[in-house]
Amino acid sequence: MKIGVFDSGLGGLVITKAFIEKLPEYNYFYYGDSAHLPYGDKTSGQILSYSLAAMRYMISKGCKIIIIACNTATAISLRYIQQRFIPQYAPDVKVLGVVIPTVESALQNNVKKVGIVATSATVRSHIYLQELKKIKTDVDVVEIATPELVPAIENNKFNLAEEFVKEYSQSLKNVDSLILGCTHYPLIKDYFRKHLPDVHVVSQDELIAEKLQNYLQRHNEIESFLGRNSLREFKVSSFNKHSQKVAANLFDDIVITKA
List the chain residues with pLDDT less than 50: none
The confidence score (pLDDT) of residue 223 equals: 97
Query: What global pTM score does this model have?
Result: 0.91
The answer, yes or no, to whether the previous bond of 38 is cis (omega within 30 of 0) is yes
The confidence score (pLDDT) of residue 59 equals: 98
From the candidates 161, 182, 201, 226, which is the catalytic residue?
A: 182
Task: Assess whether 70 carries a catalytic annotation.
Answer: yes
Nearest 5°: phi and psi at 120? -60, -40
The confidence score (pLDDT) of residue 255 equals: 85
For domain 99-204, the question of CATH label 3.40.640.10 is answered with no
Taking residue 171's Cβ as centre, other Cβ atoms within 10 Å add up to 12
Nearest to 32 by CA among 252, 257, 241, 206: 257
The reply to whether domains 2-97+206-258 and 99-204 share a CATH topology is yes
Segments making up each domain of the chain, as ranges: 2-97+206-258, 99-204
**Residue at 241: amino acid letter:** K
Task: Assess whether 63 carries a catalytic annotation.
Answer: no
The confidence score (pLDDT) of residue 62 equals: 98
From the candidates 10, 55, 67, 70, which is the catalytic residue?
A: 70
Residue-wise pLDDT for 171-214, tens only, equals 999 999 999 999 889 999 999 999 999 999 999 999 999 999 99
Q: How far is CA 118 from CA 75, 143, 145, 166, 193, in A?
A: 11, 8, 5, 15, 16
The confidence score (pLDDT) of residue 70 equals: 93
The confidence score (pLDDT) of residue 188 equals: 95
**Which CATH fold topology does 2-97+206-258 show?**
Rossmann fold (3.40.50)
